[in-house]
Every structure is written in structure tokens, then in C-alpha cells.
Chain A
């Protein structure tokens, strides 16, 4: 399954919203009814960190300015008000189909 993110680069003003799109080449709805779409954040020099699982569930400790939405083949990660600590690369990933696959990444930077 090919995961396609856009944009690949996202300059944002502090305090402004940001939105990242992720599309899959096949539906990510699993036979168990769940949609296994995750979002990860990778800050410079760090390992990826899971932010969102199953489309819209925030991980513990993730600020509520991050939200995930979507269904089927189209998904979105939104940051309501970008802060300096949000700089990094964001990846979507599906694990509905084997092998799990990642998007190319979207680099979020401050204007």
C-alpha cells in the first residue's frame, strides 16, 4: 500500500494552524472494522514518536492541539496552533495491510 503525503514541506507561522494530508492507495479499513492509520512526529535528532493511532486517538502526553481525522483512503493531521516544539518531520503509516508502510514525511518548519 502506497502512502502519499502532502505537502512535503510546510512552513508555518507560530500560532497558526497546520494541516497535513495522507492518502493511501487502498482502503485502510481492516476486516475487524478498525482503521490502522498512525501519525508520527520526528523531531531533529530524535527517534519517531507516535502521536495518533487508529486515525484519531491521541497518545498519552500528546497536546490536544494535535488531532487526526479521516476514513477509507484519506486522512489528515491537524495542528491547531503551531508551537516551536512542533518543528520536525511528520509521517503517516498504515498497518492494516502487510507490510506496514509509511508516507514520505512532511517537514514542518517555522517561517
Chain B
């Protein structure tokens, strides 16, 4: 069964950092482009960014609200995707989902709360 499991969410102060992980199983992560999506009650579903497979350069793209603060990376040997979040703002408070590029598989999400 194809599965994505996020972890690493929690409560963090504004300006702080957090790293989310996404463990993939049931498929070979190295073959896949992957994305991170977040969801808030106010802004709904919002793309965070994407990472291409290594054979296509492993390059990343981000949306404007997180550009320069968030970094997506992958460790294909561990079948794990990461989202490093720095300089966190209160508006980054959301449920973060790890999703396959075609959006046919979603994790259950992990909650990030940025608050003092």
C-alpha cells in the first residue's frame, strides 16, 4: 500500500525553525516528484513547494509566501522527504501535508503552530 506519513510538527515561537519529515512507503521515492501543501481555516489549501526527482536535477520551487525561508529536500536512501522551515511567522500556522506530484496520495498531515 502506498503511504505517506508526516512527522515533526509542533508549537514554535515566531522566528523559530522546525523540520518536518515525510516517510514514504509502498513506492520508490527516488522516482517521484513530491510536493508539500498546507491548509489553514482562513486560506484553505495552499501549495508550499515541490521537488523534482534527482534524475531531473532534484531542483525545488517554492511559492511566494515561503520563498527564502523554507527548503524542501529528499533522502531517497531513506525514502524520506523533508521540509525545513526557518524564520517562521504566525501565518505559517497550518496543517502540512506531504503529497505525491499527481496528488493521488496524501499523508495525514502534521500540525505546525507558530505562536509565542
Q: Which residues of A contact B (CB under 8 A)?
A: 38, 40, 47-50, 53, 59, 91, 93, 95, 98-105
Contacts and interface: CB of A to CB of B under 8 A. Distances in A.
B103 A50 contact: yes
A103 B109 CA distance: 20
A47 B102 contact: no
A91 B44 contact: yes
A49 B106 CA distance: 7
Interface in B86-106: 97, 102-104, 106
Interface of B: 44-47, 61, 63, 97, 102-104, 106-109
Nearest to B39: A48
Contacts of A50: 102-104
Contacts of A101: 47
A48 B106 contact: yes
Contacts of B61: 98-99
Given A50-B103, A93-B103, A103-B44, 4 more contacts: A48-B106, A99-B63, A102-B46, A105-B45
A99 B104 contact: no
Contacts of B106: 47-49
Contacts of B63: 99
Contacts of A100: 47
B107 A93 contact: no
A93 B108 contact: no
B102 A53 contact: yes
B47 A104 contact: no
A98 B47 CA distance: 10
Q: Which of A48, A101, A105 has the most CB of B within 10 A?
A: A48
Q: Which of B61, B97, B106 has the most CB of A within 10 A?
A: B106
